[in-house]
Structure formats: C-alpha cells, structure tokens
Structure 1
Amino acid sequence: MKPILFAAALLAPASLAAQSLTPQETAQIDTVVADALKASGTPSASVAVVRGGRTVFAKAYGKQSERGGTADAKAPYQIASISKQFTATALQLLEDDGKLSLDDKVGQYLPGITGGDRITLRQLLAHTSGLQDYWPQDYSFKAMATPTTPQNIVDRWAKKPLDFEPGTQWQYSNTGYVVAGLIVEKVAGMPLLAFLQQRVFKPLDIRALDQDLAVGPGFPQGYGRYALGPVRVEKPAARGWLYAAGELSMSAEDLAKWDVARIDRALLPTDDWQAQETPVKLVDGTTNGYGLGVQTGTRDGRRYVEHSGEAVGFLSENIVFPDQKAAVVVLTNSWFGDATGRITDGIVKAVLPAAPASAADTAALTRARAVYDQLRTGTLDRSRLTDNANYYFTPAAQADYRSSLSALGEPTGFTQRGTMRLRGGFVLRSYRITYPDRTLSLSTFSEPGENGRFEQFLVAPVQ
C-alpha cells in the first residue's frame, strides 16, 4: 500500500481520431504483458489505456484464479491504496456541500485522536499528520488474521504518540486515511462506500466493490511467493483491514473511467481536481510532490498524477498524464516481483511516444555514436577527448574496445536512457546500445557546449 513511482513518457498531442491503438501497438502490449508475467511468475494482469481522453484498450491476461477459465477484463481486482484518492474526494465533496473544511482539526469530529487538536483533515490526506502507519509491512502481520473495524485500528494506532508534529514531515500513513474515512461517515451520515457509490461511482458508471467482499467464485485470487519458491494462493486478510486506506476492488476499465473524469475535469469542481494535484508543502516549504491522495511530478517537462496499491496478493498502478489526456492502468494478482512496473513502463513505451529529444541531446547522441564507432573500428579521433579521457584510452584499452566491440558487428539500436545531469562541471548522459543477442550500456561525461569533448566514455555489459 505504498506509492511507487514508475518512470514513463507520453504522447504528443494529436486528434482524437488518431488515438486508437494500431494492431502493432496492441501486439506490443500483448508481448509486454506476456513477457512480464512469464518472467515474474505473476499469474495474471488486467490493463487499460486512455489516449486522447478516452479508453482505447482494456484486456485481461493469464490466470485470475485457481478456478481457471478465460481472463475477464471486467473482473474487479483489489486496487488497494489507489482507493485513497476516492477517500480524499469524499472529504472534498463534503467540503463542497459546506459540511466541513479540509482545514478543520480532526478533534472537531473524532475525540481521542493523538494531536487531534493540531492535525487538519488536509494533513490526513497528505500524509503529514504524524499518525503512525498501521501497515508498513509488505506482508500480512499477525493481527491481520483476525477481523477488525476502523475504530479498532484508530484505538490501537491513532492514539499512540505522534511520530512527528503535524506538517513537519511526510510519512505514508494508512492510519490517517482510516481516520479520514470515519470522519466522512460521521459527517455524511452513511458508510463511506455508500457515499462514494452515490456521489462518484454511479454517476461515472463504475462498478466498485468492497474488497473484503470481492472474494470467491467470479473474483481474482491473490498470489504470493516465498523467495524463489512456488507461486501460491494467498490467504486474504481478515475483514476490515483496508477500509478507507484501500478498500476498493474494480476493473482496470472502470478505474480508467475515473482517469477520464480527471482528464476532463468532470464530476468534481475543477478546483477539487486541482487541489488533489497540488503538492502539499511542509512547514519548512519543502514537498515531495504528494497532493491529496495522489503523487504528482513531472518527467521530461510533462506532468503526471499517480498512485500505486498493494493489498494481500495484489499490486496495482494507475498513472495519468492530464495535460496529454493519457493514462495507463495495470492491475495484477500477485504481490511479488516487478510485473506491475514492467507492464506499466512497457505499455507507456509501446503506445505513448516519448517526448522529442532536445537539440542538445540529439547532437550529443550523434557525437557519442561517432566515438563509439571509432572505438569499435580502431579509428579513434583523440581530438574528441579531454586530456583525462586520452589518458584513460591507453593502447591496451583501445585494443580491448576494438576487439570486443568489433566482434558484435553493427548495433541495432543506440538510444539515450533518462535525462542529462550535471556533475563536476560535466554533462552526464547514459545510453543503451543493443545487438540481436546482447545489450550494452554507455556512460558519458562531456564538456558543456555543442562541441564538448568527452571526459568519460565507458562501455559495459548490461547484466
């Protein structure tokens, strides 16, 4: 139930008609998912893609349960902490109704909470309350074998001394969201899920279920694994343990409907969406990018809104690029391995073209490729290197570069990995060099400027 940020690029603007997936893109997704499931041992995945502001792909793969049958894209997976943005939305809707303010203190609604006279509702949603997290582990701890209630969680964890003064630090806290859920219920006069069904899910035609009830025939089972042992069916946690911190189950396609609403600024007032996506600052003015129930940030100058989820036997990822009207949803029924991240990154790369390279990066790639070709052919132009790099490339070094690289033939790919960085007065760039049967990495440091010489040019195998 911890946010995990996955690296991603996204599409350039295009007309809506051009956003449907091509057969090649669909085939790429199929390959990405199949490869990730096979490599990790994850039994199944359900994915959805939003492009051009509409859902253009939804499909499930693999074994969803021991009962067999074809994977069903409509089957609801446990989305765990992705649920937090819905709890945040519930409090925002009650604020819109004039029934509370996110700047109200917790103690106005629930007595007995440690620091309740200082913790605001906003701090609950931003993980800056100081309330100790009741489930930091990535496994079911002993108490989770016994049913619980939100009040029991509050009594055990929200009445402990605070881990820090409210607003002074950021620390992920499921406990804070349980408190938030109880406040929703007290103010709304109905269960949290009933409130969300009425105000969010029914208007958006989303089928959302309490994950405690999404078990048995017709529902995906969760799977686990001990080290490299066999993949086993996980025993679900007893009822009541996720609640407002992660109680929802839904399909990838249904979660994509919520993403479309975010992109379109539908259902909620625009300022509510904006508030969710605005990083909350600590008292010292710093922020890690977390807003209200979602993580935010930018990559290659493009904004994303993201959250992941972890339930017993399930991992999930939901990443939205509002400005480009795109989103990727990946739900898996295992909580081991890296299938969720691999699938997310792979789908993004398959269907959302990367941001255009800067002129500086394009020029640097051309220079790097030229030096690489010189090294593999034994024709190194030393004027392209600094004094230190020339010192490094001794006759023995050149001979080894030539003999080992020339044997590989012509590369099939030569691409920059990640973004440029600065260090020690040099510009750092990394590259991936591909051949039919192997991949190499290239680490370069170069002088600033369009004709900067290379201070470092190191090739290594990718393990």
Structure 2
Amino acid sequence: MKKSTFITLLCLFGGVVAFCQDVDKSKLDAYFDTLEKNNRFMGSVAISKNGKLIYTKSVGYLDVEGQKKPDENTKYRIGSISKTFTATLVLKAIEENKLRLNQTIDSYFPTIANAEKITISQLLNHRSGIANFTNNDDYLEWNKQPKSEKEMVEIISAFGSDFEPDSKASYSNSNYVLLTYILEKAFGKPYAQLLDQYITKPVGLSHTFLGGKIDPENNEARSYTASDGWIRDSETDRSIPLGAGAIISTPTDIIKFGEALLTGKILSEESVAQMETIRDGYGMGLFQLPFYERKAFGHSGGIDGFRSTWGYFPEDQVSFALLSNGTAMNNNDVAIAVLSATFNKPYDIPVFSSYLLEEDKIPQYLGVYSSSQLPIHITITSDGSHLLAQATGQPSFPLEATGKDKFSFDQAGVVIEFNPAESSFVLKQNGGEFTFTKE
C-alpha cells in the first residue's frame, strides 16, 4: 500500500537448483541472528514442504518500546497480500452467481471515469486504468484518518483514469478498495465477516483478520523505520486500504491459506486457473515469482513500516512467507536467502561494517543533484551526523556510511559513491549506474 521508497523490486534470479529435503536450519538461524544483532531486520519467516512446516524463525521485537519479542504466532499487517484474499472472495462470489467477471461497475460507482467500460475482471487484473490513489502527493497527509466509503470513492474518482480500460495493466490499490465495496454489496455483509465465513474459518486460520488499531498485547506487531535504531511508524487507518491492504496475519497462516487456495480447497479448479492466468505481469490477486528455473504464485506487500512476501511453488509443493515490521535491508535479498536455503543453493551470511563519518566532512556532500540519465532530482541533507537522501516525489531515506565517500541504503539496494572534487555522485541500483551532478 505505501508508496515505495525510491525503487524497490521483487526479482529472484535465474539458474538451476535442486530441492533439499532438509533445510540447513543452523545456517539460516545464523543468517537471521546476524540481521537481528545488527538491527537490520525484525519479523518472522516460515517455510513448508508438502503441507508441513519445516522452518520458522522470529527476530527483533514486535514492540520495541515494550521490548516484546515476536514468536511464530505474532501477527503483522501484510499489506497487499490482502489482495489475494480479496480476489479469492470475488471468485467465490462469482461461483455463487452473485457477480460476473464481465459485469461493469457503473451501477456501483457512476462517478468513476470509464465506469461503464470497466469490468470486475479488469479490477482484478489491474487493467481498469483507474489511478492509484496511494501515488498522490498528499496521501501520507490523510492516510491515518478514517474514511467512509463515500469519501474513498470521491477520492478515487477525483484522481481519474490513467489509460483506456483493458489497453494495458498498471498496479492500482484503487481497484481492490472498490472490489471490497462491491463484495459487501453483493453479499450484503461486511468484508471482515466475508473473510471469516469463506476463508479463515474453513481453512482454520486462527491468526488472520481485518486489522484495526495495532494491539501489542494481542501479539500484534507495531512497525518501525530504521534510523539510528528503530523509530515507530504511523498506522494507516484500516478504512483506507480495506481489501487492498488491511489484513493482519502470520507467516504460518499465510502459508496455510495459499496452499489451500492453490490446491483447490477453497475455490474450484476453474476459478484457481483464472486467478493464475498471468497477463502483462498480473493474475487475479497473484503474481508469478521466479526463482532460478522455478516459478511460484504469490504476492508481496508493504504498508507503513511492514513488508511482506509470500509464494507457493506448485511443482515442489513448497511455500514460504516472510513478514517484517522493521527492515534496514532490501527484503528481496532476505527472500533470496530463505529460498536459497530451501532449495539448497549457496548464500552468504552478510558481514556488516560501519564507517565513522566525520561531521566536518558532511557539508561537502549536501545539495541538490540532477542527472541526464534519470528525470529526477536527489536532495542530500543532514540531520547533524548522518546524510539523508530524497528523490523527487519520494520520502527521504537515511544513507549509511560504508567507506570514504561511499554510502548505502540497503532496504532499496541503493549505493551512492560521491566525488566531492567534481561535486557529483554515482548512484548504483539493480545493476544500473547513474551519474548525478550538484546543481
């Protein structure tokens, strides 16, 4: 749900690998213990094979202020993995003849641009053209305030359309907020009740529900941002993301749900096949997540300081779920380590080293930088002892000094190497290198 900081991608690399029946638990424990010791990751992970858990691990704190430690039943906001639950409920409504994939949404939302052309199928596949309301510049100014359906529809309507329906695909949280309202009208019941009736009770998910205000006493994790320790993040009001991102769950519950869904225990084989059909990168509440020659079906998510990833590899009957409530890492790297351990692929336990940035050196880095390679500006500021970077239209993020004139932001895989003599720096990310010069 939350706008991504700079560029964050879920991209698991290709090759050949064999499944190892026994995960090297001691090495994977050491990996997560290292992340915890260095304040790089807080959260929980679970891996299953043939429907049986083969690994679980929880590190960090569910409540930093109260020093409460998480366990395998700690509940996290799962962000956009909620969309898989919502898509499942929509397909259930279709199976019960309460909705049709090809029906348009104009009877529900006449003020939405192109509503007479947009179908439920297009909402599910992100092909509606409806603009993503979380991309709006002022989103973070009002996302903590409760909103009614009328208010949310007005907000989404005001943002208009980005393209003609079904002409292409573009991810939009607006689609799944609207699907939440459609479900409630089709069934005549609140979304939370539908979730309970059709998914959590039948599947036996005892720690999954539509979230509200976070309650650490109920083993619910708060979320945090890494900056000289863990800084508690704000809470998006659940009335805003709803079925697009407001569900709370655990890694083990998500695994149980995913396996039940994709093996035909919740929906018919025909409905599951429709969800799994990928067009322009999107299924119905599902993505394909590649890892070497294998492909999983799953989803990722992010809301406030929470990050989540889930996938199910049907040929191997292997599932994993990774939920975090605080990270100073690129969670994609953590997911790669988890899957490498699962599929017997070598991976390294990271070594973290800090470099003392002398305060009198800070002024030489400060300023606004631009590049002929990218249509953005990056502003470098300081909070006194650390550098902060902010790209156009994005929140600021901390830069960790790793060497002379070298800084990183591991959460997004960003490395910045300054050349003070030339008033420039090189930004490296995802294999690309971009030169920025101070204006």
TM over 0.5: yes
Once the two structures are superposed, residues 167-198 of structure 1 have per-residue CA deviations (whole angstroms, 9 ceiling, x without a partner) of 11221111111111100000011011211110
Q: Does the CA-based 8 Å contact 1:12-1:324 persist in structure 2?
A: no
Pick the aligned partner of 1:294 from 268, 286, 299. 286
**Once the 2 structures are TM-superposed, how far is the Cα of residue 91 of structure 1 from its aligned partner?**
0.8
- Aligned partner of 1:376 in structure 2 is none
Give unmatched runs, 5+ long, in structure 2.
Answer: 347-439
Pick the aligned partner of 2:60 from 59, 62, 66. 62
* 1:347 and 2:338 matched: yes
Write the distance in 2 (CA, Å) between the matches of 1:33 and 1:343.
9
Pick the aligned partner of 2:47 from 49, 57, 61. 49
Q: What amino acid is aligned across from residue 46 of structure 2 in structure 1?
A: A
Pick the aligned partner of 1:315 from 295, 307, 316. 307
Write the distance in 2 (CA, Å) between the matches of 1:204 and 1:8.
32
Write out aligned runs for 1:67-78 (5 A). Answer: 67-78=66-77
Is the alpha carbon distance of 1:13 and 1:60 closer, same or farther for their aligned partners in structure 2, counting shifts above 3 Å?
A: closer
For the pair shown, the structure with the greater C-alpha radius of gyration is: 1
Write the distance in 2 (CA, Å) between the matches of 1:140 and 1:233.
19
Q: What amino acid is aligned across from residue 244 of structure 1 in structure 2?
A: G
Q: Percent identity?
A: 25
* 1:7 and 2:7 matched: no
Is the alpha carbon distance of 1:134 and 1:118 closer, same or farther for their aligned partners in structure 2, counting shifts above 3 Å?
A: same
Once the two structures are superposed, residues 140-178 of structure 1 have per-residue CA deviations (whole angstroms, 9 ceiling, x without a partner) of 610123221333121112344311111112211111111
* 1:327 and 2:319 matched: yes
Write out aligned runs for 1:139-178 (5 A). Answer: 141-178=140-177
Q: What amino acid is aligned across from residue 347 of structure 1 in structure 2?
A: V
* 1:82 and 2:81 matched: yes
Specify the SS of the correspondent of 1:56: strand
Q: Does the CA-based 8 Å contact 1:139-1:312 persist in structure 2?
A: no
- Length, aligned pairs only: 337
Is the alpha carbon distance of 1:323 and 1:158 closer, same or farther for their aligned partners in structure 2, counting shifts above 3 Å?
A: farther
- Aligned partner of 1:273 in structure 2 is 272
- Aligned partner of 2:364 in structure 1 is none
Specify the SS of the correspondent of 1:141: helix
- Aligned partner of 1:222 in structure 2 is 223
- Aligned partner of 2:210 in structure 1 is 210
**Once the 2 structures are TM-superposed, how far is the Cα of residue 216 of structure 1 from its aligned partner?**
4.0
Is the alpha carbon distance of 1:211 and 1:172 closer, same or farther for their aligned partners in structure 2, counting shifts above 3 Å?
A: same
Is the alpha carbon distance of 1:12 and 1:211 closer, same or farther for their aligned partners in structure 2, counting shifts above 3 Å?
A: same
Q: What amino acid is aligned across from residue 113 of structure 1 in structure 2?
A: I
Write out aligned runs for 1:295-444 (5 A). Answer: 295-296=287-288, 298-334=290-326, 336-354=327-345
Q: Does the CA-based 8 Å contact 2:91-2:271 persist in structure 1?
A: yes
Once the two structures are superposed, residues 202-244 of structure 1 have per-residue CA deviations (whole angstroms, 9 ceiling, x without a partner) of 111113122224434232111014xx54420112123412111
Write the distance in 2 (CA, Å) between the matches of 1:265 and 1:179.
26
Q: Does the CA-based 8 Å contact 2:11-2:290 persist in structure 1?
A: no
Is the alpha carbon distance of 1:239 and 1:87 closer, same or farther for their aligned partners in structure 2, counting shifts above 3 Å?
A: closer
Is the alpha carbon distance of 1:199 and 1:101 closer, same or farther for their aligned partners in structure 2, counting shifts above 3 Å?
A: same
Once the two structures are superposed, residues 306-348 of structure 1 have per-residue CA deviations (whole angstroms, 9 ceiling, x without a partner) of 21111112111112211211111000002x5335322211111
Specify the SS of the correspondent of 2:46: strand
Write the distance in 2 (CA, Å) between the matches of 1:138 and 1:26.
44
Give unmatched runs, 5+ long, in structure 1.
Answer: 281-286, 356-463
Once the two structures are superposed, residues 415-445 of structure 1 have per-residue CA deviations (whole angstroms, 9 ceiling, x without a partner) of xxxxxxxxxxxxxxxxxxxxxxxxxxxxxxx
Name the one with the larger helix percent: 1
